[in-house]
Structure 1
Amino acid sequence: MTHKVIKSAFKPVLLFVALFAFAVAAYSAATSASADSSDPAYSKVYNEAKKHLGSRYVYGAVGPTNFDCSGFTKYVYKKSIQKSIPRTAQAQYNGTKKVSKSNVQKGDLVYFGGSKHSISHVGMYIGNGRMIDSQNRGVITENVYSPWWHVVGFSRPTTLSYDD
């Protein structure tokens, strides 16, 4: 009998916790969506990157129809906001302002490889643990934290705001 009383007493608590978690998730999604609409520079970069989804990966290619990873990020920044960044993934990492994982923002670059001195891939962070990148399957949107990627750092090529 006591077990049933305890079990039924927890139902309202569990319901409250579930509703609270749902409310927090909804609020987080709403504030993240509103950040896109209030940030015209990020919107330009993101919209340019999205135009190329499905483009073929070709080693050494810098666009506008075929890309390698760093050719893609270089092309997107130059075409969308006239920001010139270095050509290779390692040079992009070396030549841009580093940011921590906890401070990464949409439009920042995310780097992969063996270490910060051995970078082999770059993608553009688009929020919610996702990126747009050019890799062997072409230009796609995918998870940053996938088993086949080893994140070694993040950088901010430019501040994407009204102040640019």
Structure 2
Amino acid sequence: MYGTSIVPMFHHALPALLVCLALSACGPLPGRPPDAPFRTEVPPPNPRGLDVAIFALGLVETGYRFGGKNPESGLDCSGMVSYVFDQAAGLKLTGSAAEIARKGRPVEASRLRPGDLVFFNTRNQSLSHVGIYIGDNRFVHAPSTNGKVRADRLNQGWFASRFETARSYFD
């Protein structure tokens, strides 16, 4: 039910996701002053990154479980990332959020693309939480609060002040 067949089901959402990506340059990101000039040279989205973002959106409302690695039993943040990257892009990203961060290429927050990973300090511990960037300053993640996978904004709310870094696994 949650295999790669979910990706084609969400390709109808691709135009909307691309619009969100185009609009994502319109809002400030963490660590960027609100009056700083916008970059106009944002790299184009990677097709595999788009697949990852779309697949992650399909998991919204999936239950949370500490140590969870699949939607049937529940997902935690690193389990969700591992599952999505394996199913949607054929990439094996395993381990904790910190271990996953060490395997990626650093990306400036102003150059995030769908499918990049965003990392947070949520327990007074560096790189303790991870989510998947989907465009428009939004990311999908599996927080322990509220018990479900959800989408949040990078530049608003509790996670905005806890953003640490971003990584890419494409290109």
| TM-score, length-scaled by structure 2 | 0.66
Aligned counterparts of 1:41 and 1:77: Cα–Cα separation in 2: 9
CA RMSD of aligned residues (A): 2.9
**Amino acid aligned to 2:151:** T
Structure showing the higher helix proportion among its residues: 1
Provide the aligned length of Structure 1 versus Structure 2.
Answer: 130
Give the TM-score normalised by structure 1.
0.69
1:146 aligned to 156, 160, 165, which one? 156
Match of 2:53 among 46, 62, 86: 46
- The answer for the alignment partner of 1:32 in structure 2 is 22
Is the 1:85–1:157 Cα contact (8 Å) retained in structure 2? Answer: no
Q: Matched residues, percent identical? A: 24
TM-aligned CA deviation for residue 39 of structure 1: 5.2
Greater Rg over alpha carbons, structure: 1
Stretches of structure 2 that go unaligned for 5 or more consecutive residues are: 1-17, 24-44
Higher normalized contact order (CA 8 Å, seq sep 6+, divided by chain length): 2
In structure 2, distance between residues paired with 1:127 and 1:85: 21
Q: Distance in 2 between matches of 1:30 and 1:144?
A: 14
Superposed, which structure 2 residues align to 1:14-29 within 5 Å? 29=19
Contact 1:114 1:152 in 2 (8 A): no
Larger strand fraction of residues = 1
Equivalence map 1:1-164=2 (5 Å): 29=19, 32=22, 40-65=47-72, 66-113=74-121, 118-135=126-143, 136-137=145-146, 138-149=148-159, 150-159=162-171
